[in-house]
Amino acid sequence: MSVLAAIAVLALLIFVHELGHFLAARLQGIHVNRFSLGFGPILWKYQGPETEYAIRAIPLGGFVGFPDDDPDSDIPPNDPNLMRNRGVLDRAIVISAGVIANLLFAYLVFVTQVAVVGVPQAFNYEPGVLIPQVVSTDSPAALAGVQDGDIVLAVNGQSLGEGEAAQKALMEAITTSPNRPINLTVQRNSGQVNLSVTPKPDAEGVGKIGVVLNPNGKVEFRRPNGLFEVFSLAAREFQDMFSRTVQGFVSLITNFSSVSGQVAGPVKIVEQGANLAANDWINLFPFTAIISINLAIINILPLPALDGGQLAFLLIEALRGKPLPTRFQESVMQTGLMLLLGLGVFLIVRDTTQLSFFRNLLQ
C-alpha cells in the first residue's frame, strides 16, 4: 500500500506540472491538442472536442502538445491562437506555468499538513537512531545492506539509548573507526538484522558510511490557532524546504563528483516515499512537497527539452528580435530529450538493482 501511495504522489505531481501548462494555454485561448502523462505507446486515451488526453507507457514525465506543426490539423497556419503565433510573453507564461504550478502545489501541501495534522509541538524520542536516507548507492552503508528507514539500536553490542545522545554516540563510533568494521544492530520493519559496516576515511581521516542520521521518534502536534497561523507556518516550511533544495542543487553542480550518487530516479523516489509512508503516513506531506519543489527546480534549469531550455530560446528570441531557426531548435530539443530519457533509463536500472528484493534474487 505504501508503494502505491508513493507512485500516486509521483503521478500526481507530474499531472500538476502538465496541468499548469495546459491551463495557462487554455486560459489565454491557445490551441492545445494533446495532454499526456508519460512518453511512448499510449495505454489509455480520451479524445475531447479539441484535446486528446492520454496516459503513456514510460512514466518519465509528460507533455502538453500544440497543433502548430501537426500536418493533420484543420487550424489555419496563420491562426493567432496557435502557440507559435503568440508573443514572447504569452509563450513564456505557458512554458513557466508548470514550474509555478509545482511550487504553488508544494505550498498548498504544507497548508494542508498544518491544517489537518497540526503544528509540531514536541518530539517524543524512541530507542535508536533513524537512517532516513542512504545518500549513495556505492557508499559503505549501502554496500553493507543498510536501507532507508533502518533504525540503529546498538553499535558493537552496546545499546545506543535514545535521543540526541544516541545520535552522537553512533556518529562518534562511525567517525572514529575509519577502515575498521563496526557491527550495527538494526531494526527493520518488525524484525532485527545485524550488519557489519566499514567506515571509509575522508580526506581528513574521519570515518564516513554515507548516511543521514536523525533521532528516532515521533512528533507531537497541536491544533493551529486560526487560518493566519496555518498560512504563515506553511509559508515558513515552504521557504525552508525551497532554500534547502536550491542549496542541494548548487552543491550538485559545484561538487558533482562527490554527490552525483545521490541523484535519484523514479524507482528510488518511490522507494523512499514508500519507506516514509510505511513509517508514518504523515511523512507523505513533506515528501510530496519536496518532490514537487524538486520537479520545479529541475524543469527551470536551462537545459534542452526542459522548460528552462525553452525559456532560454525565448530569451534569445526577445534579444534578437526573431527566433532561432526552427530546425536548430528542434534538433537541440530532440537531442536533449534523448539524453534525458537515457538518463532516466539509467537511473531506473541502477536504482532497481539496488532494491533489497532484487539483491536477494541475486544472492
- Residues forming the active site: 18
Quote the CA–CA distance of 41 and 55 in Å, as a whole number.
9
Q: 253-261: long-range contacts (C-beta < 8 A, 24 or more apart)?
A: 259/135, 261/135, 261/136, 261/137, 261/138, 261/139
Residues found in the chain: 363
Quote the CA–CA distance of 275 and 282 in Å, as a whole number.
12
| Cα dihedral sign, 29-30-36-38 | negative
Quote the CA–CA distance of 152 and 314 in Å, as a whole number.
52
Quote the CA–CA distance of 337 and 214 in Å, as a whole number.
38
Neighbours of 73 (CB within 10 A): 15
Quote the CA–CA distance of 297 and 17 in Å, as a whole number.
12
Quote the CA–CA distance of 66 and 26 in Å, as a whole number.
11
Extract the C-alpha cell encoding 323.
Answer: 527566433
Neighbours of 308 (CB within 10 A): 18
Q: For the CA atoms of 175, 179, 183, 184, what is the dihedral angle to 10 degrees?
A: 40
Q: 173-177: long-range contacts (C-beta < 8 A, 24 or more apart)?
A: 174/199, 174/207, 174/208, 174/209, 175/199, 175/206, 175/207, 175/208, 176/207, 177/207
* CB within 8 Å of 304: residues ≥ 6 apart: 332, 333, 335, 336, 337, 339
DSSP conformation class of 82: S
